[in-house]
Amino acid sequence: MNLLVFAVLASAAVLAALGVILSKSAIRSALSLVLNFMLLAILYFTLHSETLGVLQVVVYTGAIMVLFLFVIMLLSTQGNINLTESRDVKKIVGGLAGISLAALIGVQIYLPLASVPAPQFHAPQPIGPSYGAPEPLGLALFTRYGYPFETVSLLLMIGIVGSIMLAKRRVR
C-alpha cells in the first residue's frame, strides 16, 4: 500500500518535473514546478514529517514560486517567452558522449556500491508522536545546530545583499 502511494506520487512528481524542462512557455514551466513541489510536500506527509511538508508548501510553493511567476511576468511583456532552442548536431553528439561517459562512470561506481546493504547503523526506533513536530525541530535548531543555523542566516544575507548589488547598475 505504502509503496503504491509512493509510486503514484513519485511518478506524478517526475512527470511534473519533466513538464518543467519540456514545456515551451515559461509560465507553464513554473506552474509545473508548483505541481512538483506540492507533490513532494505530500510525499513528506506520507513519511510522517508534517513540519517539513508544511514548510515545503509555505516556503517553496508559496513564497519562492510566486516570486518566480512575478519575475516571469515582469520580464515577458509580450505574453509567452519562447524557450525553444535551434537543433544542432553538436548537441546530439555531445549528448551521446555524455550518456556514454555517465554509463562508464556509473558502472564503476555501481559495482562496488551494489554490495552495500540498506544502512543499519542503529536499530530502528519506534517513531514517537513528537517526531518531526515543530517543537523538537525548533529546539534542535537553536541548541545543537545553533552554529550551522546562524551560518545559514549569514549565507541568506549574502544572497540578498549580493543580488541587490548586482541588480543596481549605477554607482551611487
What part of residues 83-112 is at the interface with another protein (CB under 8 A)? Answer: 109, 112
Nearest-Å Rg of the Cα atoms of the chain is 22
Tell me the closest approach of the beta carbon of residue 98 to another protein, in angstroms.
Answer: 13
Cell of 49: 514529517
Annotate 80-105 with b (16+ C-beta within 10 A) or e (fewer).
eeeeeeeeeeeeeeeeeeeeeeeeee
Nearer to another protein, 117 or 126 (CB): 117
67 near another protein, judged by CB under 8 A: no
Looking at 15-23, 81-89, 95-103, 154-162, which segment touches another protein (CB under 8 A)? 154-162
Q: Are 50 and 133 in contact (CB under 8 A)?
A: yes
Q: Are 32 and 23 in contact (CB under 8 A)?
A: yes
The site for another protein (CB under 8 A) is made up of 109, 112-113, 115-117, 119, 121-122, 128, 130, 135-136, 139-140, 143-148, 151-152, 154-155, 157-159, 161-166, 169, 171-172
